[in-house]
Amino acid sequence: MLDGAASAGVAAGADDHCAKSRLKTDVLVVGGGPAGICAAIAAARNGANVTLAESFGFPGGMATAGLVGPISKFNFGGRRVVGGIAWEFVERLAAQGGAITDLPKGNVPFEAEVYRRVAREMLEEAGVRCLWQTQVCGAPELAADGSIRAVTLSTAGFLTRLEANRFIDCTASGAIVGHHNFGGFRSEKGKAQPLSLCFLLGGVDTEKAHVLVRNDNERSANPVLRAALNEAVAAGRLQSFGGPWMVWGSTFRSGFVSVNATRAEAADVTDPLQIAEATERMRRDIPVIVDVVRKADPAFRNAWLAQTAATSGFRECRELTALHRVTAAEFASGEDVPDAIALAAHPMDRHIAGSTGQSLTFLQHPGVIPLSSLISAKCPNLLAAGGLVAAEPAAFASMRVQAQCMAMGQAVGTSATFSLGGDVRRIDFAAVRRLCENQGAITKWKG
Ligand SMILES: Cc1cc2nc3c(=O)[nH]c(=O)nc-3n(C[C@H](O)[C@H](O)[C@H](O)COP(=O)(O)OP(=O)(O)OC[C@H]3O[C@@H](n4cnc5c(N)ncnc54)[C@H](O)[C@@H]3O)c2cc1C
């Protein structure tokens, strides 16, 4: 019988579960995408007890669940600018037949299935406790000094309280950074880069098709298909599109291409109504795009929809309010700074809201990513990496790609372990840089 008393009993039962169910760890990494994988491995290899909480049942984030690829970008001017755990990871992928690592521009096409396996192996070897299908939800609990004491985890709707000494937000959307004024939205309303829902096509004549990245070409859109998609928009069949970029990305098997072509806007991808509407719209657009490309290019005549990503991909959302926000000018200058922890090689690649286009500014030197852009200005035990780095939109448009997110992850994981028990804002940044370099990271361009 459901009366007032019984309802109260149900609510108390739910609270009891959270109260009884508690976990503790030195370092909590939230989000197991490219940044979070490397953060967790680095923190654990440097000696901390590490827990990783990830919403999906596997690692990889946008690389696996979002079918986004290739892993960009390891090279500048033909020379490698990202080393450390990121490079070790792609070499291990290649050793298991899951990546091509020797393309001159340093883009790495991969197999998403092998990616999941290798990432899990490396996390396990490092001793990371991985909590799959587990989300951090709600505002973190704070201590009197403003540090984070605990977060709430939700697994299949059941809550667990987890206490940690360091918290690393690698969710790209800001599961921690979005609370207590720890961060804000990167771009003004209406100016954020659009979302895309990627998919895989099988049955493509990949010998004849204009497949980008197979020979490491520039990632320009396919012009024939672009014209056909523009016609579909003019005819009212399709709402919008981007590119289309038909790539060897999250797969590189003969006959298959990864397609990045849908496009939608959402000012806040953490608003359930906005993300639902944008995702539904892109799911409706996919069959139309498949139909258009089959008719427009003989190489795609027999193409079939092999897989749609489990999640739509957003290119930007929130960012950490960090000790330093990288400006577009300092990033483009490529000048070394004492706390440099990673280099960026990808162009400033900004997809334009409300259009089908992309603005590309090529770098003259590798951009520099400082550790201070990954450490909270407001909280003594909060760090972030990947999609949450503090940077102006133009600088972020280069740093946002996977190899750079992985390098940032290594730096924050190392910093978290290095600073255990103290205030992360006061650590010796130069010492962290040296430690990362000793562990393979490349932080200085010697061009
Ligand atoms: C359409 C599109 C195309 C792109 N193309 C390329 C490309 O060609 N090459 C390239 O290198 N990069 C590309 N990128 C960028 C690439 O996706 C990012 O660089 C990369 O995914 C960022 O890594 P991350 O770890 O910061 O975040 P993500 O990959 O987004 O991973 C975040 C993880 O956090 C998890 N998570 C979120 N919230 C919670 C929570 N509350 N609790 C627990 N877990 C949570 C998510 O499930 C996810 O696994 C593209 C992005 C998009 C959107």
For 246-255, write each residue's pLDDT tens digit.
988 999 999 9
Calculate mean pLDDT across residues 358-379.
95
pLDDT over 50 (residue 364)? yes
Residue closest by Cα to atom 3 of ligand 1: 68
Ligand 1 pocket check: which of 171, 200, 316, 369 to mutate, most ligand atoms within 8 Å of Cβ? 171
**pLDDT value, residue 2:** 32
Q: How confident is the model at residue 188 (pLDDT cuts 50, 70, 90)?
A: confident
Q: What mean pLDDT is reported for the chain?
A: 92
Calculate mean pLDDT across residues 351-358.
80
170 lines ligand 1 (CB under 6 A): yes
pLDDT over 70 (residue 394)? yes
13-27 pLDDT, tens digit per residue, is 555 666 667 899 999
- Bridge partner list, 305: 201
Calculate mean pLDDT across residues 36-41.
98
Q: How confident is the model at residue 146 (pLDDT cuts 50, 70, 90)?
A: very high
**pLDDT value, residue 211:** 77
pLDDT over 90 (residue 300)? yes
Which run of H or of E encompasses 114? helix 112-126
**pLDDT value, residue 222:** 82
71 lines ligand 1 (CB under 6 A): yes
pLDDT over 70 (residue 196)? yes
**pLDDT value, residue 7:** 37
Decide the pairing of beta strands 199-202 and 245-247.
Answer: unpaired
Q: What are phi and psi of 164, to 5 degrees?
A: -145, 165
242 lines ligand 1 (CB under 6 A): no
Percent of the chain clearing pLDDT 90 (strictly above)? 81
Contact 249, 235 (CB under 8 A): no
**pLDDT value, residue 446:** 83
pLDDT over 70 (residue 215)? no
What CA–CA distance (Å, rounded) separates 166 from 185?
A: 23
Q: How confident is the model at residue 325 (pLDDT cuts 50, 70, 90)?
A: very high
**pLDDT value, residue 17:** 65
**pLDDT value, residue 9:** 38
The residue with tokens 């996390």 is 123
35 lines ligand 1 (CB under 6 A): yes
194 lines ligand 1 (CB under 6 A): no
The lowest-confidence range among 188-197, 233-242, 414-423 is 188-197
Calculate mean pLDDT across residues 224-237.
94
CATH number of 22-61+112-188+316-343+368-438: 3.50.50.60
What CA–CA distance (Å, rounded) separates 184 from 315?
A: 15
**pLDDT value, residue 16:** 62
**pLDDT value, residue 18:** 66
Type of residue at 365? H
What CA–CA distance (Å, rounded) separates 180 from 273?
A: 23
pLDDT over 90 (residue 182)? yes
The residue with tokens 């990271």 is 441
Residue closest by Cα to atom 13 of ligand 1: 401
CA of 68 to the centre of ligand 1 (A): 8
**pLDDT value, residue 20:** 63
Residue 306: burial class (beta carbons within 10 Å; 0-12, 13-18, 19+):
middle
pLDDT over 70 (residue 295)? yes
Q: How confident is the model at residue 152 (pLDDT cuts 50, 70, 90)?
A: very high
109 lines ligand 1 (CB under 6 A): no
Residue 112: burial class (beta carbons within 10 Å; 0-12, 13-18, 19+):
buried
**pLDDT value, residue 12:** 45
**pLDDT value, residue 275:** 93
Local structure of 107: helix, strand or coil: coil
Ligand 1 pocket check: which of 41, 316, 402, 408 to mutate, most ligand atoms within 8 Å of Cβ? 402
Alpha helices in 322-447 (DSSP H): 328-333, 393-399, 402-418, 429-438
pLDDT over 60 (residue 178)? yes
Closest CA to 394 of 335, 344, 350, 343: 350
Extents of the domains making up the chain: 22-61+112-188+316-343+368-438, 195-314
Calculate mean pLDDT across residues 215-242.
86
pLDDT over 70 (residue 442)? yes
**pLDDT value, residue 1:** 27
Highest-pLDDT range among 152-166, 210-224, 261-275: 152-166
CA of 61 to the centre of ligand 1 (A): 5
The lowest-confidence range among 137-141, 173-177, 211-215, 247-251 is 211-215
Calculate mean pLDDT across residues 241-265.
92
**pLDDT value, residue 8:** 37
Type of residue at 409? G
Q: Which atom of ligand 1 is nearest to the CA of 404?
A: 19
Neighbour tally for 92: CB within 10 Å: 17
Across 19-66, where does the E strand assignment appear?
22-30, 50-53
pTM score, whole prediction:
0.95
Q: How confident is the model at residue 3 (pLDDT cuts 50, 70, 90)?
A: very low
Tokens of 17: 């579960």
Contact 118, 96 (CB under 8 A): yes
What CA–CA distance (Å, rounded) separates 419 from 83?
A: 23
**pLDDT value, residue 15:** 57
pLDDT over 70 (residue 366)? yes
290 lines ligand 1 (CB under 6 A): no
